[in-house]
Structure 1
Amino acid sequence: MKHHLFWPVTLLALLLLFNLLYDPSFFSIKIRDGRLYGSLIDILNFGAPLMLVAIGMTLVIATKGIDLSVGSIVAITGAMACMTISKGTDQNSLGLVAMAVIMALGLSLLLGLWNGFLVAGIGIQPIIATLILMVAGRGIAQLITNGQIITLNSGNYKYIGAGDLFRLPFSIFIVAVVFGAAVLLTRRTAIGMFIESVGNKPVASRLAGIRAKSVMIAAYLFCGLCAGIAGLILSSNVSSADGNNAGLWYELDAILAVVIGGTSLNGGRFYLAGTVIGALIIQTLTTTIYVINVSPEITLVVKAFVVLVVCLIQSESFRQAIVSRWKTRRYPAEKETTRHA
């Protein structure tokens, strides 16, 4: 029970079990047009952008930072890619789509560098530095799209978010590649140790010879890149870009996924696998709310309440306080005897 993945996995299993009891066909998977369909596949497919954003957020939080601008970066990159493709004579041109993807990801790296510069270079508090882009980012996305919803008719671009590979959504493989790269870089090299060191003791790590500023900038760069990829998946899945609503509140869901996965907001040790499970919990919860036909007006309230319960159950200090209080009520005589002794 003390393993960092125990509670996230347990909560995910309970959510899936509830859905199975409520709807026995929840686990059913069918093959249609050479592709797998079902609620479980939908959870993986629709949860892919959140998993990507949460993976990037994990490394930023591990440095004792925060990135509130990821939702805006999602909107900006989607808008940039769609606007680039829409101006081409042949929207289905593979070269045009590739250029749009490269430009969008390059812009996401630039935005991540901007956040890292404000935090590590100038020394602005992370919540303030990224709040600037969070607020301005929506305006930038609106400027790119001229305040309009850009629609596309590009099969090659749509494949990113709505295509399939080996009968599974292509977005799942994108997440797998990014997750694998993050694990290799942070667990098979010294980069992970540097990130945890900067998050735990930034001054001590600097005195030990670690370039703390470079590590922090790299974390924000990676977070921006993950948000950019998520923006491509979201916009390509619907073949459109909405600068005002794309990626809305993704920053909050990503932070919740990281916390549910066991990574502390105080920085230091981080758990990428726990983050992915946390993102799956949030997406499964969203799916569950729709399955049980909860009124749209109270959907966010229900979601917030469940996430609160999840975080409390996962908190070891909260569980210890509950157990201690239960023992006090169950054995009051022993407490009195101990006090007098």
Structure 2
Amino acid sequence: MSNMKKNISHLVLPLSVMALLIIINLIKGADYFTISMVNGAFYGNIPNILFGASELVILSIGMTLVTGASRGQDISIGVSATITSAVFVQYVLQASEVTLFTIIVGFLLSCLMGLVLGAFNGTLVSVFKVQPMVASLILFTGGRSIAFMIDGKLSPILANDISNKIGTVIPGVPVQTAIILTAVFIAIVAVVFKTTNLRLYVETVGINPNAARLNGINPKKIIFLTFLIMGICTAVAGFIAVNKAGRHDSVNLLKLIMMDAILAVAIGGNSLGGGKFSITGSIIGAYTIEMLNRTLLRLEIDPAMIKVFKAVFIIILMVVASPVVRAFMSKNLDRFRSWRLSSSQQKGPISTTNIARKQGE
């Protein structure tokens, strides 16, 4: 029961922010939850949020694991996704005929590249003890140039029916393909957590690597594993992003998405210092960020000012969620409970005495 209460408490912040954004949107217009069918697919604010946040949700899951184990963040995830998607695009374009098999093989090759990039960052962090943000700074700095070279100094276009269906909808299926792929990925992660001790190992290493070592857990292997998983996440996110766009843009594809991924982890009630984490919180945090972006657009805020409003919102959010504010609120809540308890205890005997007097009369 106590574990359930802790898990729920981690979700208070992201759910509260999401509820606030929903209220703002409902004030703006009561038709916020309206969903319509366009060309055989559902469209509306909610489907658009689910569709737009697909890559961020997947990257936030990987970022949560990396943060939990290494007590740091991988800032190269957007660049890594650009490299992996470049590999996918080049394989598809060089194929004589684009079939479902071609797409699957290209995707698997991009996953392999994601593992290579994850292993690179993971080795620097787990073996050479380089701080995660510094280790991933290498790929962040030079990764887009690598993707540019893979592209052959072009922005290749994916002009085939299968990629179009992955980027939009499959005929006869009213839900966008990106939403389905994201749901499948979340389900796979849930099964992995349910059938393995991955969560326990990651949290143990993040809380105290020395204690983990004494209990037979190899911190280096766990940290390395989380970066490998992060590599897979970048490949999946890059695959979805490039099929959405219909072309590969080495300069702008998922640019600066690592900032939103880190923020999603924080909004999800997770400590950026590692240790215990909530994947559910990070997923809700990712959808909350996408909702925030679309809410600002819906409020007709000047696009040039959106980042300013978003920054102010994030500052307020982080202050409210800070340990100092939480400790202050918890302290005052305990005082209020003690005051109520003492008041009820004082009133109890008086009311009993009054009842006895009335009975005597």
Trace 1:5-44 onto structure 2 (pairs within 5 A): 5-44=11-50
Aligned-residue offset at 1:188: 4.1
Aligned-residue offset at 1:41: 0.2
Q: SS of the residue aligned with 1:4?
A: helix
CA contact (8 A) 1:8 1:278 kept: yes
Give the aligned residue type for 2:236: I
Aligned-residue offset at 1:311: 2.0
Q: List per-residue Cα deviations over 1:314-340 (Å, max 9, x = no partner).
A: 335214447989xxxxxxxxxxxxxxx
Q: How many residues align?
A: 327
Distance 2:305 2:226 in 1: 36
Q: Which residue of 2 aligns with 1:234?
A: 241
Q: List per-residue Cα deviations over 1:231-257 (Å, max 9, x = no partner).
A: 111100121000111011111110000
Q: Which residue of 1 aligns with 2:200?
A: 193
CA contact (8 A) 1:50 1:279 kept: yes
Give the aligned residue type for 2:312: F
Q: Which residue of 1 aligns with 2:340?
A: none
Distance 1:292 1:320 in 2: 34
Q: Which residue of 2 aligns with 1:303?
A: 310
Aligned-residue offset at 1:125: 1.6
CA contact (8 A) 2:76 2:258 kept: yes
What RMSD in Å do the two structures reach over aligned CA positions?
Answer: 2.2
Matched, 1:266 2:273: yes
Trace 1:220-231 onto structure 2 (pairs within 5 A): 220-231=227-238
Q: Which residue of 2 aligns with 1:336?
A: none
Q: Which residue of 1 aligns with 2:65?
A: 59
Aligned-residue offset at 1:180: 2.2
* TM-score relative to the length of structure 2: 0.85
Give the aligned residue type for 2:81: V
Q: SS of the residue aligned with 1:241?
A: coil
Q: List per-residue Cα deviations over 1:86-105 (Å, max 9, x = no partner).
A: 22333x32232222211111
Q: Which residue of 2 aligns with 1:204?
A: 211
Q: Which residue of 2 aligns with 1:158?
A: 164
CA contact (8 A) 1:186 1:193 kept: no
Q: SS of the residue aligned with 1:178?
A: helix
Report the more deviating stretch, 105-114 or 48-57: 105-114
Q: List per-residue Cα deviations over 1:18-62 (Å, max 9, x = no partner).
A: 112112222100112221111110000010100000011000000
Identity %: 31
Larger of the two Rg values belongs to structure: 2
Give the aligned residue type for 1:52: I
Give the aligned residue type for 1:120: S
Report the more deviating stretch, 11-20 or 277-286: 11-20
Distance 1:70 1:141 in 2: 13
Aligned-residue offset at 1:193: 0.6
Q: Which residue of 1 aligns with 2:301?
A: 294
Structure 2 segments unaligned to the other structure (5+ residues)? 333-361
CA contact (8 A) 1:47 1:283 kept: yes
Distance 2:83 2:289 in 1: 24
Trace 1:135-174 onto structure 2 (pairs within 5 A): 135-164=141-170, 166-174=173-181
Distance 1:188 1:98 in 2: 26
Distance 2:200 2:10 in 1: 18
Distance 1:66 1:21 in 2: 37
Distance 1:273 1:73 in 2: 24
Q: Which residue of 2 aligns with 1:132?
A: 138
2:255 to 226, 237, 248: 248
Distance 1:89 1:190 in 2: 44
Q: Which residue of 2 aligns with 1:74?
A: 81
Q: SS of the residue aligned with 2:33?
A: coil
CA distance 1:129–1:242, shift in 2 (3 Å): same
Q: SS of the residue aligned with 1:151?
A: coil
CA contact (8 A) 2:41 2:169 kept: no
Aligned-residue offset at 1:183: 2.6
Give the aligned residue type for 1:15: L
CA distance 1:181–1:94, shift in 2 (3 Å): closer
Matched, 1:98 2:98: no
CA contact (8 A) 1:157 1:236 kept: yes
1:281 to 288, 291, 302: 288
Distance 1:158 1:114 in 2: 32
Q: List per-residue Cα deviations over 1:170-227 (Å, max 9, x = no partner).
A: 2222222222222332344212111001001011111221011111111001111111
Distance 1:261 1:252 in 2: 14
Structure 1 segments unaligned to the other structure (5+ residues)? 326-341
Q: SS of the residue aligned with 1:122?
A: coil
Distance 1:238 1:193 in 2: 38
